[in-house]
Amino acid sequence: MKILVMIKQVPDTATQVKIGPDGKAIDTAGITWIVSPYDEYALEEGLRIKEKRGQGEVVAVALGPDRVKEALRSCLAMGADRAIHLNDPAWERADTLMTARALAAAIKQEAPALALFGRQAIDDDMGAVGAAVAELLGWPCASWIMEESVDEAGKAIRVGRQVEGGLELFDLPLPAVVSAQKGLNEPRYPTLKGIMGAKKKEIKDVKAADLGLTAEAPALSVIKLETLPPRPPGRIIQGEAADAAKELVRALREDAKAI
């Protein structure tokens, strides 16, 4: 069974982000990059499916500039068999739709049984690419899954999708798209052997033309990035615990009108 896992390289959340000179993107100088955490859950699940079945192939796919190779390399170190890097200036301003079109075209070429995504990338938090890809491919899709099992024949997947107030268990015929929610698994750390082995694994560069795509105007574009408006300074309520509690409740009612 072939499994594709779509991953995105994002700034580490602890990194300072500064607005770049054009005011529309961040200044990438000095940023520490990581694989978006939800994508790690997706990759881990892909690896587990393969291990459980005792056969199959896990392919990591990412779209972005040269630096993204490093993220793909760490997926290979975790255990992915090979990687595909969608790397073309045509995708420089890729929005959700353009990204989804590129990934859908790559998935179509590879024809896997399962396309795994993270629930959202933690840079722009749009959380729409997985479902958009499913729509473009005409595949069923379950978002925010907390558990899954693939049937023995490799023809269907049962997933638990997190919804308000509960978990909905669905059967999806394969091929299908699913997106990983935290709680699905605990991603492994790459072993030293994995890291060494990753150097020999293939990362294939794919251009837009290879997928029959050309540059297009984004459907949704950034006008500008802004820093947060400053929050008014807070107030530390001093005094004995009993007095402080009393004063806090008073302030919440009378000053903040929050209760």
Partner 1 sequence: MAGSFWCLVEDDRQGNPKKVMAEVLGEAGRLASQAGGQAEAVWLTDKATEAGIKQLGEWGAKRVLLLENPAFAPYRGEVWAPVLAELCLKESPQAFFGAVTARQREAMARLAARLGAGLSADSTALALEDGTLVATRPVYAGKLLSKMTWAKMPWLATLRPNVFKPADSQQGAVAPVEKPAVTLPAAVMSLVERREDSSTGLPELAEAEIIVSGGRGLKGPENFAILESLAKAIGAAVGASRAAVDAGWRPHRFQIGQTGRTVSPKLYLGFGISGAIQHLAGMRTSKVICAINKDPEAPIFKIADYGIVGDLFEVAPLLEQEFKKLLEK
Ligand X SMILES: Cc1cc2nc3c(=O)[nH]c(=O)nc-3n(C[C@H](O)[C@H](O)[C@H](O)COP(=O)(O)OP(=O)(O)OC[C@H]3O[C@@H](n4cnc5c(N)ncnc54)[C@H](O)[C@@H]3O)c2cc1C
Q: Which of 7, 9, 37, 107 binds ligand X (CB under 6 A)?
A: 37
Q: List the interface residues with ligand X, window 1-20 (CB under 6 A).
A: 13
Q: Is 32 in the site for ligand X (CB under 6 A)?
A: no
Q: List the interface residues with partner 1, window 37-96 (CB under 8 A).
A: 37-38, 95-96
Q: Is 215 in the site for partner 1 (CB under 8 A)?
A: no
Nearest residue (CB) to partner 1, 66 versus 226: 226
Q: Is 108 in the site for partner 1 (CB under 8 A)?
A: no
Sign of the dihedral through C-alpha 237, 238, 241, 247:
negative
Q: Which of 79, 160, 187, 190 binds partner 1 (CB under 8 A)?
A: 160
Q: Residues near 51 by Cβ (< 8 Å), separated by ≥ 6?
A: none
Nearest residue (CB) to partner 1, 192 versus 223: 223
**Structural tokens at position 206:** 């794919």
Q: What is the DSSP letter of 209?
A: G
Residue 185 interacting entry, from partner 1, ligand X, none, C-beta within 5 to 8 Å by type: none
Contact assessment for residue 93 and residue 218, using Cβ atoms and an 8 Å cutoff:
yes
Phi-psi sector, 159: left (phi>0), alpha (psi -120 to 50), beta: beta
Q: How many residues bind ligand X (CB under 6 A)?
A: 2
In the complex, the smallest distance separating the C-beta of residue 156 from ligand X, rounded to whole angstroms, is 32
In the complex, the smallest distance separating the C-beta of residue 179 from ligand X, rounded to whole angstroms, is 17
Q: Is 153 in the site for partner 1 (CB under 8 A)?
A: no
Q: Is 118 in the site for ligand X (CB under 6 A)?
A: no
**Structural tokens at position 149:** 């099992």
- Reported as half-sphere exposure (CB side, CA atoms, 13 A), residue 144 has a value of 9
Q: How many residues does the chain have?
A: 259
User: What is Dmax (Cα atoms) for the chain?
Assistant: 70
